């Protein structure tokens, strides 16, 4: 369990660094210790609370939890494809020239599954755009981030309430109300550290993304 949480947290931190580097591709970005610590705390709180909520929700509802979790996963899987079809775009040309159309479709499906898997447990920090040949949206829309955390907060509250009223004491043999409250507070704290990073520590809000930091060849 500890190894899984560590691996997921490490992957989420790498996604953050990748997203920053993609957005400021022409500049050399080096995160300082304070920024890295803030990201680490944010991701640890977010992923730990999310995974514990998912485990307790599944344990309390058992098979009844499967439709809800599959529904959430299917929305994440279909969202990039719905955007792709709505845009009326075609597969990236460079990709089609390198491999067959079937291979392109298979590759995009695998990327979508990976993207959905990451977003199921935490915010991926990047936005998948199947119509773009680079597949990643460099604009880093904050509206997408706000929508993600709003929906995840509602999901977590629903799952915690379901856990609280569907046999929480039978699972933990302790105060289920206190555990439920702590999980929600932990997730809210993760959102707080996320806002702290993006408001005050993100390279886009400092002189770290100025032209003098351009990496020379």
Contact 39, 13 (CB under 8 A): yes
Cβ count within 10 A of residue 106:
12
Domain ranges of the chain: 2-213
**What does the pLDDT read at residue 210?**
43
**What does the pLDDT read at residue 92?**
57
When pLDDT is cut at 50, 70 and 90, the band that residue 108 belongs to is: confident
Cα angle 10-12-16, degrees, rounded to a multiple of 5: 115
pLDDT beyond 60 at 12: yes
**What does the pLDDT read at residue 170?**
61
pLDDT beyond 80 at 47: yes
pLDDT beyond 80 at 14: yes
When pLDDT is cut at 50, 70 and 90, the band that residue 98 belongs to is: low
Average the pLDDT over 82-108 and give the result: 70
pLDDT in tens, 191-214: 999 999 988 887 765 454 444 444
**What does the pLDDT read at residue 72?**
92
CA distance 152 to 160: 12
Alpha-carbon 116 to chain mean position:
9
Cα angle 15-19-21, degrees, rounded to a multiple of 5: 115
Average the pLDDT over 83-92 and give the result: 75
**3 state SS of 128:** strand
DSSP state letter for 163: H
Strand partners, 214: 27
When pLDDT is cut at 50, 70 and 90, the band that residue 53 belongs to is: very high
**3 state SS of 40:** helix
- Cα four-point dihedral sign 59, 6, 10, 13: positive
Contact 153, 191 (CB under 8 A): yes
Contact 157, 50 (CB under 8 A): no
Across the chain, the runs of DSSP E, i.e. the strands, are: none
Strand partners, 128: 136
- Confidence (pTM): 0.82
CA distance 89 to 84: 6
CA distance 74 to 195: 28
Average the pLDDT over 115-144 and give the result: 81
Q: pLDDT: is 196 or 175 the higher one?
A: 196
Residues 6 or more apart whose Cβ sits within 8 Å of residue 127: 136, 137, 139, 140, 141, 144
**What does the pLDDT read at residue 8?**
82
CA distance 201 to 37: 11
**3 state SS of 214:** strand
């Amino acid at each position: 369990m500890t190894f899984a949480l560590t691996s997921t947290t490490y992957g989420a931190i790498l996604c953050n660094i990748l997203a920053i580097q993609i957005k400021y591709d022409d500049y050399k970005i080096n995160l300082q210790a304070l920024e890295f610590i803030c990201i680490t705390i944010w991701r640890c709180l977010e992923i730990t609370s999310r995974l514990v909520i998912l485990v307790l929700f599944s344990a309390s509802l058992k098979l009844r939890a499967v439709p809800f979790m599959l529904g959430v996963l299917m929305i994440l899987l279909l969202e990039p494809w719905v955007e792709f079809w709505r845009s009326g775009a075609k597969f990236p040309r460079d990709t089609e020239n390198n491999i067959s159309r079937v291979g392109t479709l298979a590759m995009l499906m695998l990327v979508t599954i990976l993207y959905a898997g990451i977003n199921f447990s935490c915010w991926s920090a990047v936005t998948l755009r199947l119509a773009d040949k680079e597949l990643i949206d460099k604009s880093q829309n904050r509206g997408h981030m706000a929508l993600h955390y709003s929906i995840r907060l509602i999901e977590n509250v629903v799952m915690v309430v379901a856990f609280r009223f569907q046999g929480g004491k039978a699972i933990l043999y302790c105060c289920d109300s206190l555990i439920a409250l702590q999980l929600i507070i932990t997730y809210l704290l993760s959102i707080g550290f996320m806002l702290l990073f993006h408001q005050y520590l993100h390279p886009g809000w400092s002189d770290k993304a100025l032209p003098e930091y351009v990496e020379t060849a």
